[in-house]
Amino acid sequence: MKVSMFRSGMLSIVCLGLLGLLTACDQSGSAPKADAPDSAEDASARTADPGAREGGLPCAPGSKCLKVNSNGAPNPSGTSIAQCSEGASFPDYIVPASYFPENYQGPWFAGSMDFPQQEPDLGPLPWEEIDFWEGQEQANAYIYALREYSFEGNIEVDFRVQENSIRPWYTIPYMNYGPGRRELVHGLTKERSVTGPELGLKPGVTIQNYAIGFYNAGGGYTTGQVWQAVTQPDLSKAMMQNGTMVFKILFTTATADDFENPDDYPLAGAPEWQIATGSGELTTVRLMQMDVAVRDARAEVNGWVFGTFAYDGDAEDPIAWNRLRPVGIQWGNAPGYTPTDQQEGKPLPENIVSDEIPSYAAAHLGWAGRVNGPVDNPVSACMSCHATAQYPVDAALAPFSSKCDTDEKKLQWFENNPAEHAFGFIDSDTCLRGETPDPPPVSLDLSLQMQVSVQSILQYNDVNPCVDAPEAGRAAARSAIRSTDAPRTLRGGDAD
């Protein structure tokens, strides 16, 4: 019996969503072997100056800069570089030295991981009085309130969220490993790539996509509780408080020339960042999508409301970030609703697709018209994908496999369950629920970023180079959880 649908080779290149990483599978679907453990004498790497490409600085001034293996293990001969900000318990990035452009002088990404130790008071919140389920006007008002809350104090500091003077924001640790690891400039991780003619791209043209997600103090507190022991996650602490909010901003390499009709380029005037993607040169990426999710007790299905935006090149807002327009919101998975229902014009429950949606996003909704972002896999939807967040990883993020060849099988991903209820096991050989392995998986409260984080340490045995004893307690933590060989999670998703 297969442990997970991820393991049947369907991820010939990638597996995604918020937050996400490429799988570490080779083209046969097998997970690669981890770097060999470091010996005690390799501890000298903790104070080594690893250098970078000629004339460049590999880490921010004042941080600890280490030579490591690709799995984070300190090694004086390692070919990767880890940055540990002053006083930090978790690495900011772990990247191959070849990622650094020549003469690179910054900026350098620093994670926001000084988590609150007491549960914060999050209220009052600007969306609490908006009845999101009441129709277009209310749904639009709700999702715009989430956008403004996310952007307030962050646009001015270019999303270096530690510098936000209005409210704190936090990043999830341990998204530093595998081919989709955080890059060193803005901390973006790899998302699902898109190949034309999808999204109106020229046939055969592939665009690469990258993103970073941030949690407010509610999510920061929960993350700190899960990782209180730094290298030993406590999965029983993964449920988040009401008012927890997370947003993800997603960028793409797409240019006008990548589209079949360059005159209809949807990203005209979009904010641009430069990131280090592995070529040794900086890559220009442009804002395309923003995802939001919030714990709202009025969402009776699982306590969450999800939404997404797409950039609108025709918008005229003076601040380019505000040209993001709503795709829609959802507060449930619309169980039982199929493409046949959509074709017959039946109303789609628990979803509101915005009347402001840009045309290219409207042509790229999720399964049977559910709310989904432009870069996300259209066989899925925002909430259904995130509802699979659990550890161990016992199912794919969506019905990607060719074995999922009926609506009945696909609908297994579109059930409504409480957030505390783990998604469970689906057999990769049949695309059907089988006997749940013992012990059963633990819900991670719809956080795929948390799944990536936990999977790195418990399954892939990745190492935190910022602590003096990176192996301390890890064996006990791993032995307490059933093992699996699922590939690394990539948020957004790809089919076999």
pLDDT value of residue 45? 41
Nearest to 326 by CA among 480, 148, 103, 71: 148
Question: Residue 216: pLDDT band by 50, 70, 90 thresholds?
Answer: very high
Gap between the Cα atoms of 437 and 455, Å rounded: 17
User: For all residues of the chain together, what is the average pLDDT?
Assistant: 87
pLDDT value of residue 296? 98
β 272-276/206-207 pair status: unpaired
Question: Residue 435: pLDDT band by 50, 70, 90 thresholds?
Answer: confident
Q: Is 47 part of a structural domain of the chain?
A: yes
- pLDDT tens by residue, 361-374: 999 999 999 999 99
Q: Is 79 part of a structural domain of the chain?
A: yes
- pLDDT tens by residue, 110-127: 999 999 999 999 989 999
pLDDT value of residue 179? 83
| Higher per-residue confidence, 31 vs 334 | 334
pLDDT value of residue 413? 97
How many angstroms from the chain centroid is the CA of residue 295? 17
pLDDT value of residue 20? 33
- pLDDT tens by residue, 161-204: 999 999 999 999 999 998 889 999 999 999 999 999 999 999 99
Q: Is 242 part of a structural domain of the chain?
A: yes
Structural domain span for residue 32: 5-479
Nearest to 366 by CA among 383, 350, 354, 387: 383
- Return phi, psi of residue 50, to 5°: -75, -15
- Which residue shows structure tokens 């190492």? 463
Nearest to 377 by CA among 29, 27, 16, 23: 16
pLDDT value of residue 167? 97
Whether the predicted pLDDT of 276 surpasses 80: yes
Q: What's the angle, vertex CA 273, arms to CA 323 and CA 449, rounded to 5?
A: 85
Task: For residue 475, give every residue at least 6 positions away whose Cβ sits within 8 Å of its Cβ, in sequence order, or none.
Answer: none
349, with CB counted inside 10 A (0-12, 13-18, 19+), is middle
Q: Is 489 part of a structural domain of the chain?
A: no
Q: Is 197 part of a structural domain of the chain?
A: yes
pLDDT value of residue 271? 98
User: How many domains, the chain?
Assistant: 1
pLDDT value of residue 218? 98
**0.85 exceeded by pTM:** yes
- pLDDT tens by residue, 336-355: 999 999 999 999 999 999 99
Gap between the Cα atoms of 105 and 304, Å rounded: 41
